[in-house]
Amino acid sequence: MFTKQNSIIILAYIAIGIWSCLLVYSASYASAGNRYEVTNQYFVIRQALFYAIGIACLLFFAKLKTAPFCSKKTMKLAGGIAVLLLVLILLTGTATNNAQRWIQLGSATLQPTELVKSLLIIVTGNFIVHYFSKMMRSNRVTYLLIAYILFCVGLIILQPDLGTSFIVLCIFAAQLLTSGLSARRISQLALTVMLFIALSLGVIYLVHPDFFSQTRLGRFAFLDPFNEANLDASYQLRNGYYAIADGGIFGKGFGNSVQKLGFLPESHTDFISAVISEELGIIGILVTLSLILFFIWKAFHIALRSQSAFDTSICIGFATWIAVQTFLNLGGVSGMIPLTGVPLPFISFGGTSIIILSCGVGFLISAERQITLTERRNTHANQQ
């Protein structure tokens, strides 16, 4: 049985789903026919289908208890599947725009790294719970976890997918920082990891200098996008600027974007926020951000209230995931940071992302329901 707080989360999920479908329709109906040669409603119909599957996944996970996910067996299984998926992408993945991040299953396209993010959150949460006493005594145990996470990050970088690799590192750092380890031990671990990354980059440059290709270095065109030398690399960014500038405070009106008419190739995915800004202005961006921020706030709120170390760690990881990915998307589109090619959570078109995030929302509901039940039992015990 759902509580009042659970119902609010479900209503927020339905609201952001409807909002996403409206935005995806507006951002995609022109390019659907012109670029992809499908019906104008193709992407919005699929987005609505993804959310329909998502609500089913949400309700399924909301009914489950979180305790069964907290076990060494689950940790090993999740860890193994994560590595298997990442290797599978490199061996059989489909390449698009110089990146091999997808697996084709018939007419469906999956982006396994979305699932990998959730699996690594589960792995880290379990490791912290089951090995915390050893982590307190020695860094050696923690180095095993760090080595595993860095190995997975390395596989993600090979796709290449720098945005997702950064998100994974931030999620892991957040879970570790809130694990209860002392500041001194955290500092030692952070210094070791930074030295390892610096050494790795040096070795990569010496052995494989092509890794630092013009395509990757072109991401820094955001520093001077209107320079003639950067015009090709900053094409999408500049058109995103035009969209944002044209939108102003109130926008040009729903459906009236000009930049989505072929100037922004990824108008319904990575650059959907630019279309929102052009059509609905700053007000539209604020509404979108408010819906996303609700789930970030709710996850942190549940983490603070929960008496389960595992639930706390998972909620922290989920909140960090949404927060960092939102920052990378909006920061890239606005030119604050390099473009990373990550979608706007809950909003951009994409089935794998929406379904996995929906499962995460279901976990939040389950964790919050267990908090409520625990509080009721404690109240009842105190009254007796």
Number of domains in the chain: 2
Residue 81 falls inside a structural domain:
yes
Residue 220 falls inside a structural domain:
no
Residue showing tokens 């996970």: 61
Domain boundary among 190, 212, 234: 212
Are residues 166 and 298 located together in one domain of the fold? no
Least Cα distance to 326 among 254, 266, 272, 245 occurs for 272
Rounded CA separation 359/75 (Å):
18
Are residues 240 and 334 located together in one domain of the fold? yes
Query: Which residues, including other chains, have CB under 8 Å from residue 247's CB and lie 6 or more apart?
Result: 277, 278, 279, 280, 281, 282, 284
354-378 pLDDT, tens per residue?
999 999 999 999 999 988 877 777 7
Residue 331 falls inside a structural domain:
yes
Residue 333 falls inside a structural domain:
yes
Are residues 275 and 235 located together in one domain of the fold? yes
106: pLDDT strictly greater than 80: no
221: pLDDT strictly greater than 70: no
pTM over 0.85: yes
320-347 pLDDT, tens per residue?
999 999 999 999 898 888 888 899 999 9
Rounded CA separation 44/32 (Å):
10
Are residues 306 and 378 located together in one domain of the fold? yes
Q: What is the mean pLDDT of the chain?
A: 88
- CA 242, 243, 249, 252 torsion: positive or negative? positive
Q: Higher pLDDT residue, 310 or 233?
A: 310
Are residues 364 and 258 located together in one domain of the fold? yes
Are residues 245 and 373 located together in one domain of the fold? yes
Residue 377 falls inside a structural domain:
yes
Residue 336 falls inside a structural domain:
yes
Are residues 193 and 238 located together in one domain of the fold? no
Are residues 317 and 345 located together in one domain of the fold? yes
Are residues 247 and 375 located together in one domain of the fold? yes
Are residues 206 and 263 located together in one domain of the fold? no
pLDDT band at residue 226 under the 50/70/90 scheme: low
Full domain range(s) for residue 204: 77-212
Residue 69 falls inside a structural domain:
no
Are residues 156 and 15 located together in one domain of the fold? no
Are residues 208 and 235 located together in one domain of the fold? no
Residue 8 falls inside a structural domain:
yes
Beta bridge partners of 99: 96
